Amino acid sequence: MSSSDLSPTVLRPYGDTTGDGMVQLSFTLPMPHSKLAEGAATQLAVTMGIDPALVVHAKAMGPAHTFFVVYGRVNHLVDVSQVRIVERDYALLSPKEINLAVRKRLRRRLTVVGGCIGTDAHTVGIDAILNVKGFAGEKGLEYYRELRVVNLGAQVSVPQLVARAQAERADAVLVSQVVTQRDAHLFNTKEMSAAFREAYPAATRPLLIVGGPRFDEAMATDLGVDRVFSRGTTPGEVASYLVHSLVTARPVREESRGSNV
Ligand code: B12
């Protein structure tokens, strides 16, 4: 068997057998559960390119909505050679290596200020990155001796965040946005990055990092931030990125850090 058989670049989904193109999709329609509703779900799936489409599960969600799971075949192919992703362009370091790099090259602790902005109260994600309890078996940034973490928690306004970043002389600002209704995560992030650009000269602005489960990592430039992290991010990845950006690639000048004059 050749290596192209093992990792072909053009793929069909795998359901029951190789190349059968079978996928599963779930959604809710705003209509009571009935045969008509199941027909409507099938119609939607066929319109989406699933043919044949089979409703394998339908459940009333209250009197006026129905939840569906549809199983069926798509005829579309995936061309892996055309897929574009944001590759990690920095080395993953251990906590020991991170502490050593900060101590030796920065010669002071690196300060991180973080929180959830706007009305967002979903702190579990930012806590997973910042708090010592961490995530996925990795300890959070508080665990790193050479990192100083100021976690502002939920519902921090942009002016509060800027003021605190200045007061703490933050090297990096880490913002979490989980609620995406009406694109709140995008608007809030753009407002935040604009406020930091307004408050700081370019050379002394802290590194701006945003994270949350529904961000597209390719959107950093559009959002005006230095890096976007999405679902499944671990604290070690974030700590390694901080060292890469602030210590290895862009040493922070002690005298100018955090100043807005
Ligand atoms: C727990 C939870 C809550 C808790 C939050 C408690 C808390 N202290 O955080 C409570 C009950 C308060 C809550 C409230 C609400 N919630 Co809620 N909630 C959830 C739930 C079930 C889990 C979220 C979570 O904790 N995930 C675990 C963490 C570890 O994952 P994460 O956030 O993705 O974080 C990881 C990465 O994304 C990344 N990351 C995240 N942030 C950052 C930041 C940085 C800097 C970096 C580097 C990385 C990073 O790293 C983390 C680790 O890998 C989700 C549904 C779900 N299953 O996801 C809904 C969900 C997020 N909630 C939702 C909603 C609608 C609400 C409410 C509006 C409900 C209501 N009508 O009142 C309110 C809003 C409150 C508010 N003002 O924000 C919706 C959001 C829908 C949308 N499109 O925006 C969801 C998706 C549920 C749903 N399917 O409808 N919620």
pLDDT along the chain (261 residues), means of 10: 69 95 98 98 97 98 98 95 92 97 95 97 98 97 98 98 98 97 97 98 96 96 97 98 90 47 31
The verdict on 61 and 166 lying in the same domain is no
Report the distance separating Cα 105 and Cα 97, nearest Å. Answer: 12
Distance CA 76, CA 50 (A): 9
Structure tokens at 79: 């061309």
- Total domains, the chain: 2
66 and 188 share one domain: no
Residue 239 in any domain: the answer is yes
CA of 25 to the centre of ligand 1 (A): 22
241: Cβ below 6 Å to ligand 1? no
Quick check: is 114 in a domain?
yes
In this structure, what CATH number is given to the domain that contains residue 200? 3.40.50.280
In this prediction, residue 256 carries a pLDDT of: 43
State whether 155 and 238 are in the same domain: yes
- For 121-134, the pLDDT digits (tens) are 999 999 999 999 99
> What is the DSSP code (8-state) at residue 177?
-
Residue 4: per-residue pLDDT: 55
pLDDT score, position 255: 42
Q: Is the CB of 212 under 6 A from ligand 1?
A: yes
Is 141 part of any domain?
yes
Same domain for 120 and 202?
Answer: yes
The answer to whether the predicted template modeling score (pTM) of the entire model surpasses 0.85 is yes
Domain range for 146 is: 95-248
Distance between CA atoms of residues 247 and 110, nearest Å: 9
pLDDT in tens, 177-227: 999 999 999 999 999 999 999 999 999 999 999 999 999 999 999 999 999
69 and 155 together in one domain = no
Q: What are phi and psi of 73, to 5 degrees?
A: -100, 135
The response to whether residue 150 sits with its C-beta less than 6 Å from ligand 1 reads no
Query: What is the distance between the alpha carbons of residues 118 and 247, in angstroms, rounded to a whole number?
Result: 30
Are 116 and 244 contained in the same domain? yes
Query: Does 204 lie in the same domain as 135?
Result: yes
Catalytically annotated residues: 133
